[in-house]
Amino acid sequence: MAKKKTDEVNFAPRGIGDEKDGAVQKGVDLPSPTKKKHKSLGLSEDDLKAMYEQMYLQRRFEERAMQQYQKGKFGGFLHLYIGQEAISTGTVYALNDDDDIITAYRDHGWGLCRGITPKEGMAELFGKAPGCSKGKGGSMHFAKTENHFWGGYGIVGGHIPIGGGLAFANKYNQNGRISATFFGDGAVDQGALHETFNIANLWKLPAIFAVENNGYSMGTAARRHTVTEIVDRAKAYGMKGKVVNGMDVFSVYEAMKEVAEDVRKNSEPYFLEIRTYRYRGHSMSDPQKYRTKEELEEYQKVDPIERLKTYLKDEKILKDSEIQEIEDKVEDEVLEAVDFADNADFPEESALYDDMFAEDDPYFHK
């Protein structure tokens, strides 16, 4: 038998879009944004103002969080959502307030959008007692269940079945609610996604599964970690699927509105690939050698917040001065949150044992 030359053997990942190798690499190809204006989407001018404020809050909150982290005010991992704010905002405005949302560890934007106050959020980052998870979860585990935000989860793909379970309970209880599960492109390679998709369609669970494809799973470009277009995973499981521009809040809103209606009416799962970009490193310790500055700048040109700001001005909904007012208000609110977090108390040491079990006086093995 002929001996194979070993230098032909190569396990370098060759996934989606690899034919573009050599050209300037782009994280993701964005589909065209929707052409619809706010009125035909059913959004009022007040909605737009609120959405702008919300997106701006998410960004300023994280920029300030980053500063505090660099000052050493808190430790652990810090994964920033900056660049992806249109997805949380468009979704939360499109869904009902009692629809269930669950996400991965890049969760600050989601939490703020679902009613975690900047104070509760910042205090959580600082590990303080008034934090949304009493300082026990930290950056990766924001949650506010009373607002149907079931939290951020740190094991890649681990929460995808749980999102299915939220939908299962809703169907079981026939309460008309749906669940929406968000995860990164890295998570689509996990078995958990495939098992969940199969069961979700088998049992017709009223669930939206949405990948926030920001082009990278840590330092690995999507084209190097996954084969075929991600949205095509839907076909394999007989699910509907579509690709959405995640740098445009109107596009996310429009898609989510339609999909939520479909899922609610037909009680069956739906898969969305929402394409976006993260401006910051994977986490604070990432030197980002895997991408170019030019690539980052390309996406910053289609920044979701700038985009909405331009729209607000072009449509004469807000004047520059009114936008400035919103931004100042948000900035104050975030700075207050930082102050609050800084001055808040850490949990009592006895809190270490709280919340482990449902019992007031649980047994611990010594």
Partner 1 sequence: MAELQFREAIKEAIDEEMAREEKVFIMGEEVAEYNGAYKATEGLLDKYGYKRVIDTPISELGFAGIGVGAAMNGLRPIVEFMTFNFAVLAADQIINHASKAGYMTGGQISMPIVFRGPNASAGQLGATHSVAYDSMYAHFPGLKVIYTSEPDDAKGLLKSAIRDDNPVLFMESEQMYGMKGEVSDEEDYIIPIGKGKIKREGSDVTVVAHGKMYHVAKQAAAQLEKDGVEVEIIDPRTVKPLDLPLIIESIKKTNRCVVVDEAHPFAGFAAEIGFLIQREAFDYLDAPVQRVTLPDVNAPFSKPLFDAWLPSAKNVIDAVNQVTYRN
Ligand X SMILES: Cc1ncc(C[n+]2csc(CCOP(=O)(O)OP(=O)(O)O)c2C)c(N)n1
Distance CA(98)–CA(88), nearest Å, equals 15
How many CA atoms are closer than 13 Å to the CA of 282, on its beta-carbon side? 17
> What's the min distance (Å) between Cβ of 296 and partner 1?
18
- In the complex with ligand X, the residue whose CB is nearer, 84 or 251, is 84
Query: Helices 249-266 and 304-314 sit at what angle, rounded to 10 degrees?
Result: 100
Among residues 9, 82, 17, the alpha carbon closest in space to that of 224 is found at 17
Residue 361's DSSP bridge partners are: none
Residues 278-297 that bind ligand X (CB under 6 A): 282
Residue 162 interacting with ligand X (CB under 6 A): no
> What's the min distance (Å) between Cβ of 149 and partner 1?
17
Near ligand X by CB under 6 A, which window of 62-70, 179-187, 336-344, 347-355?
A: 179-187
Distance CA(197)–CA(208), nearest Å, equals 10
Distance CA(272)–CA(233), nearest Å, equals 10
230 binds, among partner 1, ligand X, none (CB under 5 to 8 A by kind): none
> Per-residue contact track with partner 1, 190 to 209, x per CB under 8 A?
xxx-----------------
- Angle of CA points 112, 216, 299, to nearest 5°: 70
Among residues 129, 93, 83, 137, the alpha carbon closest in space to that of 114 is found at 93
Check if the beta carbon of residue 181 is closer than 8 Å to that of residue 141. no
174 binds, among partner 1, ligand X, none (CB under 5 to 8 A by kind): none
- In the complex with partner 1, the residue whose CB is nearer, 92 or 221, is 221
Structure tokens at 231: 């949205």
Structure tokens at 244: 């959405």
- In the complex with partner 1, the residue whose CB is nearer, 41 or 66, is 66
Residue 104's DSSP bridge partners are: 153
Q: Which of 156, 180, 256, 260 binds partner 1 (CB under 8 A)?
A: 156
Number of residues located near partner 1, criterion CB under 8 A: 52
How many CA atoms are closer than 13 Å to the CA of 236, on its beta-carbon side? 12
- In the complex with partner 1, the residue whose CB is nearer, 74 or 168, is 74
Residue 236 interacting with partner 1 (CB under 8 A): no
Distance CA(286)–CA(290), nearest Å, equals 10
> Token pair 């990948």 is at which residue?
211
> What's the min distance (Å) between Cβ of 212 and ligand X?
6
Residue 185 interacting with ligand X (CB under 6 A): yes
- In the complex with partner 1, the residue whose CB is nearer, 2 or 9, is 9
> What's the min distance (Å) between Cβ of 227 and ligand X?
15
Near partner 1 by CB under 8 A, which window of 17-25, 31-39, 114-122, 224-232?
A: 224-232
- In the complex with partner 1, the residue whose CB is nearer, 14 or 37, is 14
Residues 88-127 that bind partner 1 (CB under 8 A): 127
169-205: burial string, b at 16+ Cβ within 10 Å, e else:
ebbeeeeebbbbbbbbbbbbbbebbbebbebbbeeeb
- Residues of this chain that interact with partner 1 (CB under 8 A) are 6-7, 9-13, 74-77, 127-128, 131, 133, 135-138, 140-141, 153-158, 186-187, 189-192, 217-220, 224-226, 289-290, 346-347, 349, 351-353, 356, 364-366
- Residues of this chain that interact with ligand X (CB under 6 A) are 106, 154-156, 184-187, 214, 216-218, 282
